[in-house]
Amino acid sequence: MIYMPSNHASVWKYREQGYSMGWLMSPDGFRRPEKNGEAMPFALDNGLYFPPDQEPKGREAIAAFYEMLGRCVRLGYEPIFVVTPDRPYDAERTRAMAAEHVPVIRGVGYAGPLAIAVQDGMELDDADGFDAIFVGGSTDWKWGTAEKWAAHANQTGRWCHIARVNTIHRVRQCVDMGAHSADGTGIFRGNKTQLAGVLEAVAERHLFFDRPSEQTLLDEWRSRYEGVA
């Protein structure tokens, strides 16, 4: 599994020390995923998440997502997946947004793996047509269904990513259920105990590398998309 904090510069240090880490890159913090000839594994988030007590983000956030995606395409960077625009906690609206935005994403020249961000009430067949499953939704729903989504992803050759994973217990849980990646955008916000716990879990390399390599899926996807305009 790859653990993806926000695109914080210190992740380079941990990768150099052998941690299985990458970036979940958001529109408000685009960074070049390369340094001194080394590549950082990364995925593109759509930046539309909002806490339950706040209002949904609007068109400006979607425009920022497409600006980031276009830049990535122009520079030739290859994300592990791109999260299609969604509406957190809203299954019906997320389905509609996925149908609306997939052709737009393809139209800007991105031909790589797409993830659907599954939300409260969505079912396994909602992932049909997508290369990756990004398990979002409310906290209770996410952890109540994450194992089901991970199993489905592994059975169907899809990538499974679990959102908002910020503790040692949750990282280990994601590994145990067979997720391929997880993000934790909060670990660099000053809680040293939280950061130390996550690093301890990620340092348990036998948990991360006993399973078939995620690189196998990446190679299969890239060969599938070769020559696609």
**pLDDT tens, position by position, 56-80:** 999 999 999 999 999 999 999 989 9
pTM of the full predicted structure? 0.88
* Order of strands across the sheet that contains 159-162: 2-4, 181-183, 159-162, 132-135, 114-118, 82-83, 42-44, 23-25
Residue range 138-158: average pLDDT?
A: 96
> What pLDDT, on a 0 to 100 scale, did the predictor assign at position 96?
97
In this structure, are residues 159 and 131 in contact, taking their beta carbons and an 8 Å threshold?
yes
Q: Could you read off the pLDDT of 164-203 as tens digits, one per residue?
A: 998 888 998 998 999 999 998 777 766 777 777 777 877 7
| Segments making up each domain of the chain, as ranges | 2-224
> What pLDDT, on a 0 to 100 scale, did the predictor assign at position 190?
61
Residue 206 in this model has a pLDDT that exceeds 70 = no
Report the CATH fold assignment for 2-224: TIM Barrel (3.20.20)
Q: How many angstroms separate the first and last alpha carbons of the chain?
A: 30
